Structure 1
């Protein structure tokens, strides 16, 4: 649930960061998305990108914790 919330908010922020980068490179003053549908599509792509990254980070963290617990139990024996 936390991953979904973070990915949703960060995906929304990432849309504006990407738009700003495009404006800088192209020399535009504004960016027209062409309606709400293309905006939501870009937001959805960013959401799933960030959600998958956060999932990988969570899995890495859990595996690291399991490895530390195994090492700790081996040291105690």
Structure 2
């Protein structure tokens, strides 16, 4: 991921935590296909709000906003780290 995957966040990988996309409590595996990097701020946001994260078929995490932000809940990808 090279850094926090939340849309627009520029925090580098060193400042992030691994997040289970399918939560471990729901039997989500602890493997690369089910993990992404989030900074502490966005990790809390994902766990305590209606934001969600999905993994695309090509293996890239995308953030899904709550309906009150985007009624269509269009997934959004963070491109901030692509130049690295």
After TM superposition, is the score higher than 0.5?
A: no
Question: Relative to total residues, which structure has the larger helix share, 1 or 2?
Answer: 1
Q: Is the radius of gyration larger for structure 1 or structure 2?
A: 1
Tell me which protein shows more strand as a share of its residues.
2
TM-score (norm 2): 0.24
Choose between structure 1 and 2 for higher RCO, CA contacts under 8 A separated by at least 6 residues.
1
